[in-house]
Amino acid sequence: MIFHSILLECCNRIQMERTASSIYHLLRGRRSIQTVQDAHLFQLERYFGIYKSLTRQHFNQTMNELQLKGLLHRIDTEQTFYQTTRETSKWIATNKQVSFPFTSYEGLAYHEITDVFLDRLVLLIQTLTNSKMDYFSFIPVIDKPLIVGWVKSVYRRLKGEEAKFLAIIFQELRKILHHFSKVEAGIFVDRLTGYQSYGMSIDQLSAKYGQSVDDIQLIIINLVHRLLSTLYHEKDNYPFLTFIINDLTSTTRLSNSAFQTYQHLQQGVTIENIARNRNLKINTIHDHLIEIALYETNFPLHHYVNPAEQQEILNAVKQTSSSKLRDIKQQVNDSISYFQIRLVLALQHKQLK
């Protein structure tokens, strides 16, 4: 139900402007500038990367199911597009009353730290509960080297006071989960692993709570996003849970590569020299510039697109009523590049927001 609602909302916003693949890449959190820009352009930032384990086969199968229900109309050209139907809006309006508020996702903000936070918490609780019982032969439920390394480092500092810190974690979790429904809190707690008690799998949670596997996945991500939002805004109320994410607070939403380009630009290095020094293509640096433009407060658009070109692009956007680059490009002077069009579109959307 939640998964279907999200897919239909994405289709409703995108319509024929982008292919079905763009929605798939959005939900998977593909870190390409096209996907990131689309997230901003169509106001779908919150869904970015919320379903990283989604397979192409399952995505296509689900889209076909929605088509068979009359909620989507499929158009096959060289690529596959989906249009919403008259029934779509009714279905979305009716099913937005589901128990779990899927509008509270913060995908673009938290997609890189969601799994890290949850994995750290789960493994730390498993480690402390087993250590408290002097049982050290347990099989870790998380085997990611970076997570294991972090937990080992923290455990060395907490060793000998397991009961004390478990009580603190318990109190903070109880306090924060009090703001969630009983079902949501139950799903979260059932996912945790303790001494001789392993957390439920996604399939087990699906069976227990009568939700699809898709929706269980999405409910958990929604929960974690809301937890993270609470921790970032109420740090003093949850000191230990906040400690788990202290080093995850990012000063920039830029990808690492775009941030390196940004640093070079700050030093006055030209686009051509950045590309040469970093052994990257000019188009890649252009992608970085668009990503920077989406987040930089005072981005110097006039350095790349003069006022007359900006106005010509905006006029073409208005004339075509489209965000398709090809349609816009056909309406502007040949000297205006796709990069300039994308840059203006990115800045226009940011200003509208």
What CATH number is given to the structural domain containing 25? 1.10.10.10
Do 195 and 238 touch, CB atoms closer than 8 A? no
pLDDT at 147: 96
Residue among 21, 17, 57, 58 nearest 41 (CA)? 17
| pLDDT, mean over the chain | 89
Alpha-carbon span 242 to 234, nearest angstrom: 9
pLDDT at 102: 60
Say if 21 falls within a structural domain. Answer: yes
pLDDT at 249: 62
Task: Kindly report, residue by residue over 276-333, the tens digit of the pLDDT.
Answer: 999 999 989 998 998 888 888 788 999 999 999 999 999 998 888 877 888 899 998 9
pLDDT at 241: 95
Task: Please indicate, yes or no, whether residues 90 and 161 belong to a single structural domain of this protein.
Answer: no
Task: Please indicate, yes or no, whether residues 126 and 224 belong to a single structural domain of this protein.
Answer: yes
Task: Please indicate, yes or no, whether residues 47 and 128 belong to a single structural domain of this protein.
Answer: no
pLDDT at 98: 55
Hey, what amino acid is at 43?
Q
pLDDT at 169: 95
Task: Kindly report, residue by residue over 234-292, the tens digit of the pLDDT.
Answer: 989 999 999 999 887 655 567 778 889 999 999 999 999 999 999 999 989 998 998 88
Task: Please indicate, yes or no, whether residues 171 and 140 belong to a single structural domain of this protein.
Answer: yes
pLDDT at 191: 94
Confidence of residue 159 (pLDDT cuts 50, 70, 90): very high
Q: Which long-range contacts (CB under 8 A, 24 or more apart) does 289-292 make?
A: 289/261, 289/265, 289/339, 289/343, 290/33, 290/37, 290/339, 290/342, 290/343, 290/346, 291/33, 291/36, 291/37, 291/254, 291/255, 291/258, 292/254, 292/258, 292/261, 292/262, 292/265
Domain of 47? 2-104
CB atoms within 10 A of CB 61: 10
Say if 225 falls within a structural domain. Answer: yes
Task: Please indicate, yes or no, whether residues 86 and 170 belong to a single structural domain of this protein.
Answer: no
Do 130 and 138 touch, CB atoms closer than 8 A? yes
pLDDT at 99: 44
Task: Kindly report, residue by residue over 100-147, the tens digit of the pLDDT.
Answer: 556 689 888 898 899 999 999 999 999 999 999 999 989 999 999 999
pLDDT at 84: 84
Say if 182 falls within a structural domain. Answer: yes
Say if 285 falls within a structural domain. Answer: no
Count of structural domains within the chain: 3
Measured CA distances, 46 to 9, 51, 111, 272, 288 (Å): 12, 12, 9, 34, 21
- Tell me if the pTM is above 0.85: no
Opening angle at CA 35, ends 145 and 299, nearest 5: 100
6 phi/psi in degrees, rounded to 5:
-65, -45
- Residues facing residue 194 across a β-bridge: 197
pLDDT over 80 at 200, yes or no: yes
pLDDT over 50 at 50, yes or no: yes
Task: Please indicate, yes or no, whether residues 13 and 58 belong to a single structural domain of this protein.
Answer: yes
Say if 194 falls within a structural domain. Answer: yes
Residue with tokens 């300039």: 340
Task: Kindly report, residue by residue over 162-190, the tens digit of the pLDDT.
Answer: 999 999 999 999 999 998 989 999 999 99
Give percent of the chain with pLDDT exceeding 70. 95
Alpha-carbon span 296 to 321, nearest angstrom: 27
